[in-house]
Structure 1
Amino acid sequence: MPADVKAYLSARTGTHANAAIYQEFENLYERKLWHQLTVLLLDVTTSEDIKSDLIPTYNDFINAFELDMNPLSLVVILQRVAAHKGSDKEAAEFLVSKKETVKTHKDASLSLSLAIGQYHLKQSDLTAVKAILEGARPEVENNDMVPLDIRGEFYALSSGYEKQRGNFTNYYRDALRQLGCVSDTAAPTTLSPTEQQKEATDLAVAALLSDDIYNFGELLAHPILTRLEGTNDEWVLQLIRAFNAGDVDAYEKLQPQWMTHSDLVANLITVRGKMSLTALVNLIFKRPVDGRVIAFKDIAAAAKISDNEVELLIMAAISRKLIEATIDGVAETTSVFWVHPRVLDRVQIGTMATKLEQWAKSVEGTIATTSALDADAVFREE
């Protein structure tokens, strides 16, 4: 046993509070049971008593046999050690110094690079983060064998990068992808309840401010939004529900709350325009199949806009590919042929079921009428 390892273990056995753990370290080390020792380290390095001693544990003990460890497990422990460094810069430098150690293991090397990227992100070094993402993206997106947790690490870094850049659409999409890689999306183990609440709020606000996102059903179906229930940010959840339902009244009632959010206030015109578009889409959705010719005045009432704004609203919906329609400016109507598919909530599914029942009855009526006409035609021929 190397002298530094022996000195480390000797100082922590005997009367030490965790003497039994360190004795087990010594036992497994002397028997060269590297897998069992790695499993034990992964378990105990999360405890508060060992965490406070983590840097010496790495420097004087783990460092002596890290090449014998599973590379992916080593990267997990390296990240825990880095978290106890004095600064984000020191943490990044420490992880960079270990790249050579895991370079022959593709997944471990990828995971380590993404961990380094997180520390660059904390320092707002977006150039360094971009380089790491560009290097990792081909492997993550083209290799189905990349482990789910590492795929999640990639999207966590990418979503954080897009958030700092202010790209709401990319942040929203990558954040949802990252959450999809977490085994328990209702309570991601890497986030505290407060952090989960903030993540849910940021995700919802990004959806509202994105130029491309008009369907909120997928977000509402995600367990992360349950973290807003019973908190002072529950209004964000209510606001998303209002947009999903195209409910302008609910949107206006929530104005005192959302006017306290600087990003929503700064993009007030954009947010109100999106509310009008979702109101239009929901108006179309609720109408029967044979009721797709809609008067401008009905649209104005649903979206709570003036009559002279209706035509521009329809054109905006067409240009964003939310609907396909024609406009009759003389008759002041629009004929809608298609609405962009979307994820439905329970209420909307109920509406769809009712419409299907109405359609089925209409088909039955048509069949009955056609059968009667055919029978009458046969009777006359005879």
Structure 2
Amino acid sequence: MNSKVENYLTSKKDSTNAELAKKFGELEDFYSKKLWHQLTVALQKLVKESALQTGTELLDLYNNVVSELENKINPLSLMEIVAEVSTQYKDPNEALTFVEKTAPKVKDHKEAKVLCNVVNAGILLHRIKDQQKTKKMLEETEKMLDEIDGVASVHGKFYLLASDLYCQSGAHADFYRASLRYLGCIDLNTLDGPTQQKHAFYLGLAALLGEGVYNFGELLAHPILESLKGTSQEWLIELLYVYNGGNIQKFESMKPQWSTQPDLLARENKMREKIRLLCLMEMTFKRNARDRQLTFAEIAEETGLPEGQVEVMVMKALSLGLVKGTIDQVDQKVNITWVQPRVLDKKQIASMMNRLGDWCKDVNEMQKMLEDKATSILTL
């Protein structure tokens, strides 16, 4: 047994408050019985205790206990403990050096290696404020992450940090994708109400402002939006549904609400451009597959654009891959053959069910016609 560890645990057990004394007593008991797993779990809980977040308490715990037992602790658990301890360094460069010293000790464990990079990147982003180095490190780490089977705890930590980076740099589309992935890696119940509201609000803004984000269905189906109900930001949920349905008139009527958000107001023209493209997609989606010839006049009426600008908008939709088809400039018509697949909301699914019902009816009528005409066809 290590006398350094024993002396530290004994002194802490005798000098701290009753609650902490009990926890250090458990550590001492696990250590004396060589119950390394139980000791590791207890250490992971202990480093999160608020009473140890002041001064150098975590550093003392690491230097006197953890550093002496590193070969007994699971590499991933070790990195989780190191991540907590690193926050007690006032100098971010010292924190970075501390974490980097642990890297060789966990290099053979994929998840621990990823977490080590994520912790380093977090220090670079939040404390040193170096976005370029953070981005480079996350790009390298993502390749390592792809080698891990299934969804591990490090996936959530990685995507949370990635979303923080994109939020700071104003990359709305990247933030939207990273945040959705983060929420897909965690149990939503582990986040408190205010945190859920923050994620939901930022996600909603990113969906509206993100370049290339034309699919709102996944976000609309996510329970995170429930956190905005009953708050002053509930209007954002309605606005997302308005966008998803390409409802220009409703968008304009909601301007008193969304214009209170500076980011949205500053990009008003971009927002109108996006909802018009979504309007075109929705117009096509609602049509029967055999009736997807739209006139410039119809498109202009639905999107609120002058007829002279319709062609340019349709060309943009074609170039973005939102729809496929051809433009007839002479007859002022657009023939659309395909619409980009999207995650549908309940109303859109109901519309699709109605069209499927019509299709089944057409198939049955064709079957009856063939049965009626079968004799004359077979005798030809």
Q: TM-score, normalised by structure 2?
A: 0.89
Structure 1: which 5+ runs fail to align? Answer: none
Letter in 1 for 2:278: T
Q: Residue 47 of structure 2 corresponds to which residue in structure 1?
A: 45
Q: Residue 281 of structure 1 corresponds to which residue in structure 2?
A: 281
SS of structure 2 residue aligned to 1:335: strand
What is the distance in 2 between the residues matched to 1:146 and 1:331?
Answer: 54
Q: Residue 34 of structure 1 corresponds to which residue in structure 2?
A: 36
> Do the aligned partners of residues 88 and 205 (structure 1) sit closer, same or farther apart at CA in structure 2, a change above 3 Å counting?
farther
Shift of 1:27: 2.1
2:114 and 2:145 in contact (8 A); partners too: no
Q: Residue 263 of structure 2 corresponds to which residue in structure 1?
A: 263
> Do the aligned partners of residues 281 and 111 (structure 1) sit closer, same or farther apart at CA in structure 2, a change above 3 Å counting?
same
Matches within 5 A, 1:333-348: 333-348=333-348
SS of structure 2 residue aligned to 1:11: helix
Q: Indicate the larger mover: 224-233 or 50-59.
A: 50-59
Q: Residue 97 of structure 1 corresponds to which residue in structure 2?
A: 101
What is the distance in 2 between the residues matched to 1:44 and 1:286?
Answer: 57
Q: Residue 132 of structure 2 corresponds to which residue in structure 1?
A: 127
SS of structure 2 residue aligned to 1:334: strand
Q: Indicate the larger mover: 243-252 or 39-48.
A: 39-48
2:89 and 2:95 in contact (8 A); partners too: yes
2:151 and 2:185 in contact (8 A); partners too: no
Shift of 1:279: 0.8
1:34 and 1:69 in contact (8 A); partners too: yes
SS of structure 2 residue aligned to 1:97: helix
What number of residue pairs does the alignment pair up? 375
Q: Residue 80 of structure 2 corresponds to which residue in structure 1?
A: 76
2:47 and 2:85 in contact (8 A); partners too: no
What is the distance in 1 between the residues matched to 2:94 and 2:256?
Answer: 44
Letter in 1 for 2:99: L
Shift of 1:206: 1.8
Query: Is residue 2:25 matched to residue 1:23?
Result: yes
What is the CA deviation profile of residues 316-341 of structure 1, one whole-angstrom value per residue up to 9, with x for unaligned ones? Answer: 21111111122223332221111111
Shift of 1:277: 0.7
What is the CA deviation profile of residues 247-294 of structure 1, one whole-angstrom value per residue up to 9, with x for unaligned ones? Answer: 112212221222122222222211110010111111111122332112
SS of structure 2 residue aligned to 1:314: helix
> Do the aligned partners of residues 366 and 224 (structure 1) sit closer, same or farther apart at CA in structure 2, a change above 3 Å counting?
same
Query: Is residue 2:139 matched to residue 1:137?
Result: no
Shift of 1:70: 1.0
Letter in 2 for 1:292: R
Q: Indicate the larger mover: 73-82 or 352-361.
A: 73-82
Shift of 1:229: 1.9
Structure 2: which 5+ runs fail to align? Answer: none
Q: Residue 308 of structure 2 corresponds to which residue in structure 1?
A: 308
What is the distance in 2 between the residues matched to 1:219 and 1:146?
Answer: 22
> Do the aligned partners of residues 284 and 104 (structure 1) sit closer, same or farther apart at CA in structure 2, a change above 3 Å counting?
closer
What is the distance in 1 between the residues matched to 2:234 and 2:342?
Answer: 24
What is the CA deviation profile of residues 204-246 of structure 1, one whole-angstrom value per residue up to 9, with x for unaligned ones? Answer: 2222222212111112122222222222222222211111111
2:220 and 2:240 in contact (8 A); partners too: yes
Shift of 1:356: 0.6
SS of structure 2 residue aligned to 1:277: helix
Q: TM-score, normalised by structure 1?
A: 0.89
Shift of 1:378: 6.9
RMSD: 2.4
What is the CA deviation profile of residues 1-28 of structure 1, one whole-angstrom value per residue up to 9, with x for unaligned ones? Answer: 5554344223333474132222222222
What is the CA deviation profile of residues 60-91 of structure 1, one whole-angstrom value per residue up to 9, with x for unaligned ones? Answer: 33222223211111111111222344364543
1:300 and 1:307 in contact (8 A); partners too: yes
> Do the aligned partners of residues 235 and 89 (structure 1) sit closer, same or farther apart at CA in structure 2, a change above 3 Å counting?
farther
1:107 and 1:146 in contact (8 A); partners too: no
Q: Residue 148 of structure 1 corresponds to which residue in structure 2?
A: 152
> Do the aligned partners of residues 146 and 325 (structure 1) sit closer, same or farther apart at CA in structure 2, a change above 3 Å counting?
closer
Shift of 1:370: 3.5
What is the distance in 2 between the residues matched to 1:33 and 1:67?
Answer: 13
Percent sequence identity over matched residues?
35
Q: Residue 121 of structure 2 corresponds to which residue in structure 1?
A: 117
